Structure 1
Amino acid sequence: MATTALTAQDFEQTLTSNELVLVDFWATWCGPCKAFGPVYEKASEANPDIVFAKVDIDQNQELASAADIKAVPTLMIAKKGQIIFKQAGALRGSDLDDLIAQAKSLDLDAAKAQSEDAVKA
């Protein structure tokens, strides 16, 4: 699956209506974004079961601001509508693959229960 461009109009629905969504916040003038683009595209082709989205921060400044994007590229991962990862900086292919594997295997319910137990302690 190729990447999908997201705007403020479809961002929230995309995150909440898909099991796993990766979002690359990027800009046309950003060198590291240009380097990360092919890595991200290759991962999208290798993982057709995941939504790979891109947000051009210059075209979607309000969305970038709402998502608290301070630098580009920034990768955000949402699982079942919950943001489980957000980090600025370009990733190598192997690091992105590892991150995708971790996101796929994450049990949100167990993580939530564990977090609640930690708060009670």
Structure 2
Amino acid sequence: MAVLKITKENFAEVRASEKPVLLDFYADWCGPCKMVSPLVDEIAEEHSEFTVGKVNVDTQPELAAAFGVSSIPMLAVMKGGRVTAHAVGARPKSAILDMLKG
């Protein structure tokens, strides 16, 4: 499954997902974000049981503020419309999957 580009316009649909949702808050200029991005892409391709989306904090400041993003990359997991886990900074793929499955 492809990674979704999350905007304030489509966020309600993503939040209503029956599947656990992984949100990757990033910026194009962020070095650590560039390390995490391919891992997020791999998870989206390999795990259809999750909804995976990326939120550009520069173009979606309202969503970044709503999630309290103060440092990036920030990963958030949502289940049932609620944030159940989050992590700031680069993480290995195994740690991201543990967040989703936890």
TM-score (norm 1): 0.78
Work out whether 1:25 is the aligned partner of 2:25: yes
Q: Distance in 1 between matches of 2:22 and 2:61?
A: 19
5+ long unaligned stretches in structure 1: 103-121
Structure 1 contact 19–81 (Cα < 8 Å) conserved: no
Between the two proteins, what is the percent identity of the paired residues? Answer: 32
| Residue correspondence of structure 1 range 66-85 to structure 2 within 5 A | 66-85=66-85
Paired residue for 1:94? 94
Structure showing greater relative contact order (alpha-carbon pairs closer than 8 Å, 6 or more residues apart) = 2
Which one has the bigger helix percentage?
1
Q: Using the alignment, how far apart are the partners of 1:44 and 1:12 within structure 2?
A: 19
Runs of 4+, deviation exceeding 6 Å: none
Mind listing any 5+ residue stretches in structure 2 that lack a counterpart? none
Matched letter for residue 38 of structure 2: P
TM-score normalised by L of structure 2: 0.92
